[in-house]
């Protein structure tokens, strides 16, 4: 009997110690994207940086990165306060905050930005022998617009529209980056739309075993698209971004944004923002796009307001007045 009491006492002490330890930590989630994209590796490193460097009132911030759907799904997670932060493309963050596009009539006014990250490049990829050379050649073909809830879903609609088509003119597939690339390899999909930092691991993988073609996005139709979606900038995909891609390709890019919601405390937002922007060199070691994270472009977040904690940090650094 005495032995049982001793066991109970040890268990009770362990429970109290665990509870006390938990009270010394603040938990902070980061929703990223699929494992074949750019959000995932950068989010993982960002979580490590926060966990190693960020504290609030003597309590460590314990951050975790979670593989998630994509920009639309991530914005909804934030709107519901199901996670503390997420990576979201600037055009999707703007649509979510203002209740337009896929968020028509249901604005998420509690969304806030921690800072802009890097440009995400639109890559319309296919096999070199597919016979597809332009957006118009997608008519009647099977095309993936990315996982449900991705920013590519709306972009495919807009691309087809300015080229005189609709979603009914293609055979739509909703595979993730990695799944879509595998289907193209096997001949079960003609093309896929991928918006991510370059190089994108799923595309790199494809180019290692198959001849890759990336369809240019330029001309009067794209200019019209940019009038409708001003967040898309004209860029060139550098030559040799992928095996066999020996020339630069005209395409589009949109900024990726690290977003949060207004229930995250100001001091927490301040510390996590600081952990990012004071460790950009480390982010660049994980993925080349990490090198493009900069205080100079930190405020390029669209119409969603900066979180007060992020604004305080950026004000201290002289980025905003």
Do residues 125 and 249 both lie within one domain? yes
Q: What is the CATH number of the domain that holds 190?
A: 3.40.190.10
Same-domain status, 107 and 207: no
Q: Residue 60: which domain range?
A: 10-118+256-316
Check whether residue 230 and residue 305 sit in a common domain.
no
Q: What is the pLDDT of residue 216?
A: 97
pTM value? Answer: 0.78
The pLDDT-based confidence of 23 (bands split at 50, 70, 90) is low
**Domain end residue (candidates: 215, 230, 254):** 254
How high does pLDDT run on average in the chain?
A: 89
Dist. CA 321–CA 316, nearest whole Å: 9
The per-residue pLDDT for 69 is: 72
What is the predicted pLDDT for the residue at 269? Answer: 98
Residue 68: band (very low, low, confident or very high) from pLDDT cuts 50, 70, 90: confident
- Pair 91, 130 in one domain: no
Q: Does residue 214 share a domain with residue 165?
A: yes
Lowest average pLDDT, out of 5-19, 218-232, 280-294, goes to 5-19
Tell me the pLDDT band of 2, cut-offs 50, 70 and 90. very low
Residue 199 preceded by cis peptide, ω within 30: yes
Identify the residue whose tokens are 């300015």: 162
The residue out of 231, 254, 277 marking a domain boundary is: 254
pLDDT band at 36 (very low <50, low <70, confident <90, very high): confident
Could you give the percent of the chain with pLDDT greater than 70? 91
Is 132 within 8 Å of 111 (Cβ atoms)? Answer: no
pLDDT digits (tens, 9 = 90+) for 254-286: 999 999 999 999 999 999 999 999 999 999 999
pLDDT at res. 178: 87
What pLDDT, on a 0 to 100 scale, did the predictor assign at position 3?
36
- Specify if 321 maps to a domain: no
| Residues 114, 263 within the same domain | yes
Going by pLDDT thresholds of 50, 70 and 90, the confidence category of residue 149 is low
Number of domains in the chain: 2
């Amino acid at each position: 009997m005495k032995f049982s009491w001793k066991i109970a006492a040890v268990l009770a002490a362990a429970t109290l110690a665990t509870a006390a330890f938990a009270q010394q930590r603040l938990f902070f989630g980061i929703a990223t994207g699929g494992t074949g994209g750019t959000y995932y590796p950068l989010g993982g490193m960002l979580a490590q940086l926060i966990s190693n460097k960020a504290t609030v009132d003597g309590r460590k911030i314990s951050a975790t990165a979670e593989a998630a759907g994509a920009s639309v799904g991530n914005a909804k997670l934030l709107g519901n306060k199901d996670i503390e932060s997420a990576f979201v493309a600037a055009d999707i963050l703007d649509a979510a905050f203002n209740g337009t596009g896929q968020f028509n009539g249901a604005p998420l006014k509690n969304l806030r930005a921690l800072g802009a990250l890097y440009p995400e490049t639109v890559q319309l990829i296919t096999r070199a022998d597919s016979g597809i050379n332009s957006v118009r050649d997608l008519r009647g073909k099977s095309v993936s617009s990315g996982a449900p809830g991705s920013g590519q879903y709306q972009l495919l609609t807009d691309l087809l529209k300015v080229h005189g088509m609709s979603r009914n003119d293609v055979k739509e597939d909703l595979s993730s980056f990695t799944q879509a690339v595998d289907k193209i390899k096997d001949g079960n999909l003609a093309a896929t739309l991928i918006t991510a930092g370059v190089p994108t691991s799923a595309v790199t993988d494809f180019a290692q075993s198959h001849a890759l073609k990336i369809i240019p996005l330029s001309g009067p139709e794209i200019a019209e698209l940019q009038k409708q979606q001003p967040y898309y900038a004209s860029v060139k995909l550098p030559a040799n971004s992928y095996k066999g891609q020996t020339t630069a390709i005209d395409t589009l890019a949109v900024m990726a944004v690290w977003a949060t919601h207004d229930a995250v405390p100001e001091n927490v937002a301040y510390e996590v923002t600081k952990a990012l922007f004071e460790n950009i060199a480390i982010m660049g070691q994980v993925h080349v796009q990490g090198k493009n994270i900069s205080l100079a472009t930190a405020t390029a977040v669209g119409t969603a307001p900066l979180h007060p904690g992020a604004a305080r940090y950026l004000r201290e650094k002289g980025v905003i007045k």
